[in-house]
């Protein structure tokens, strides 16, 4: 399994980052301007333009190693979008991508800290610890940051689950953004993110976000796809690197994710 | 419903609105012309240039593009000039891109067009 490497800072990209999504719609238009449309979701393309400045020998070696391993645009690799939430359905925890332990209760439509009603009330009526988590197909060994907003009428704690790492964080009646970040000594090809609740605990949760970086950025809502692209490729067969000094390199590259390939 | 920014606005300056008719012209040998109305009414089009967006606002627009599948979907759009609600509009392009220059420094452009109903 090939994957796009992180920089030594833990980031996947540097600013500026450009991302473009393309869809395909077939349109039949009459003389009067009326239209009949047909969508072609399988033809969707997502593309990124990444610019790297001041990267060092080690970072460059990782980039070059990937480029040589995948032989330019020939072979796909996993790309973790640096400007997106890796988790799908971030505001719909009842979707199938979320694995809720049996007996864990979920109730939507709860007021959220952004002024909407997209938060969930998660309750654990049992005598055991229960979890709500989502697994993504990405290397567990990378730097990740899990973040979420949580509050509870009772003074309690919520466990943030980031792969094999769990951390308890205290919450109260005010919305608080909790984070859990770091790198795990785990070579698995997938990693799970979520929460765990102590017996009897009930918490309100909003904006669960996982990012392939060391700190949390602004919460980004997602729907059916998160920021994990297992079918990404280099757009070009060439990788040009500029050496600006000893152990100082820069390069620009384009990555595309095409589902139908 | 087209998403609004955190300010509640749908557009930023400079904002562009286009009115489009579709007239067919037949020109005769003597130079005179006869003109026909191809479409029954005017169609509106808005070019929305957005700058200094944060990642959350960009994600909202991105999700809107994904759920609408580009030009395929339709939605209602409120004209910021006069508050008129146009119930059947679509994105004008099958592409949506943005550039993030730094944190909370996102930039993008969208075009919304009114559909014939």
pLDDT tens-digit readout, A17-76: 999 999 999 999 988 888 999 999 889 999 999 999 999 999 999 999 999 999 999 999
Average pLDDT over residues A225-240: 95
**Which residue among A16, A33, A223 sits closest to B101, beta carbon to beta carbon?**
A16
* Cα(B57)–Cα(B5) distance, integer angstroms: 6
CA proximity to A195, closest of A157, A143, A144: A157
Assess whether pLDDT exceeds 80 at residue A99: yes
Backbone phi and psi for residue A67, each to the nearest 5 degrees, phi listed first: -60, -40
pLDDT tens-digit readout, A163-201: 999 999 999 999 999 999 999 999 999 999 999 999 999
Please tell me the distance in Å from A173's CA to the nearest CA on chain B. 24
* Cα(B65)–Cα(B71) distance, integer angstroms: 9
CA atoms within 13 A of residue A55's CA, in its CB half-sphere: 27
ipTM of the complex: 0.86
Token pair listed for B95: 């592409």
Per-domain boundaries in chain B: 16-114
Contacts of B116 in chain A (CB under 8 A): 32-35
Backbone phi and psi for residue B60, each to the nearest 5 degrees, phi listed first: -65, -45
**Which residue among A20, A24, A220 sits closest to B59, beta carbon to beta carbon?**
A220
> What whole-number percentage of chain B has pLDDT above 90?
93
pLDDT tens-digit readout, A207-229: 999 999 999 999 999 999 899 99
Assess whether pLDDT exceeds 80 at residue A260: no
**Which residue among A15, A17, A223 sits closest to B63, beta carbon to beta carbon?**
A223
Please tell me the distance in Å from A22's CA to the nearest CA on chain B. 4
Q: What is the pTM of this model?
A: 0.91
Residues 6+ apart with CB under 8 A from A11: A82, A213, A214
Contacts of B69 in chain A (CB under 8 A): 23, 25, 39, 41
Q: Pick the residue from chain B with its C-alpha nearest to A82.
A: B100
Average pLDDT over residues A80-96: 96
Full set of structural domains in chain A with CATH: 17-83+228-258 (no CATH), 99-211 (2.60.120.260)
Please tell me the distance in Å from A32's CA to the nearest CA on chain B. 5
Exposed, middle or buried by CB within 10 Å (0-12, 13-18, 19+), for B61?
A: buried
pLDDT band at A141 (very low <50, low <70, confident <90, very high): very high
């Amino acid at each position: 399994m090939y994957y796009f490497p992180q920089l030594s800072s833990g980031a996947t990209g540097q600013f500026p980052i450009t991302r473009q999504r393309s869809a395909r719609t077939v349109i039949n238009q009459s003389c009067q301007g009326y239209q009949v449309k047909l969508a072609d979701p399988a033809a969707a393309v997502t593309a990124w333009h990444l610019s790297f400045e001041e990267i060092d020998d080690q970072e460059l070696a990782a980039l070059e190693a990937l480029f040589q391993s995948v032989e330019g645009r020939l072979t796909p690799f996993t790309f973790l979008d640096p400007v997106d939430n890796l988790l799908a359905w971030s505001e719909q925890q009842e979707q199938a991508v979320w694995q809720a332990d049996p007996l864990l209760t979920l109730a939507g439509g709860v007021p959220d800290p952004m002024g909407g009603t997209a938060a969930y009330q998660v309750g654990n009526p049992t005598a055991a610890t229960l979890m709500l988590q989502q697994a993504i197909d990405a290397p567990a060994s990378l730097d990740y940051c899990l973040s979420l907003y949580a509050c509870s009428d009772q003074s309690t704690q919520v466990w943030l689950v980031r792969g094999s790492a769990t951390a308890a964080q205290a919450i109260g009646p005010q919305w608080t953004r909790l984070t859990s970040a770091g790198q795990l000594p785990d070579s698995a090809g997938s990693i799970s993110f979520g929460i765990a609740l102590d017996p009897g605990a009930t918490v309100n949760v909003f904006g669960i976000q996982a990012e392939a970086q060391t700190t949390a950025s602004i919460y980004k809502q997602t729907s059916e796809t998160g920021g994990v692209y297992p079918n990404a490729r280099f757009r070009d067969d060439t990788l040009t690197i500029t050496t600006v000094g000893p152990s100082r390199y820069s390069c620009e590259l384009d990555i595309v994710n095409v589902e139908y390939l | 419903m087209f998403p609004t920014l955190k300010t509640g606005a749908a557009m930023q300056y400079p904002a562009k609105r286009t009115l489009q008719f579709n007239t067919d012209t037949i020109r005769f040998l003597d130079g005179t012309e006869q003109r026909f109305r191809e479409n029954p009414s005017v169609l509106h089009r808005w070019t929305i240039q957005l700058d200094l967006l944060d990642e959350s606002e960009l994600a909202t627009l991105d999700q809107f593009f994904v759920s609408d599948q580009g030009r395929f979907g339709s939605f209602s759009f409120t004209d910021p000039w006069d508050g008129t609600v146009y119930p059947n509009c679509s994105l004008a392009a099958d592409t949506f891109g943005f550039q993030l220059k730094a944190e909370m420094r996102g930039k993008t452009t969208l075009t919304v067009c009114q559909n014939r109903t």
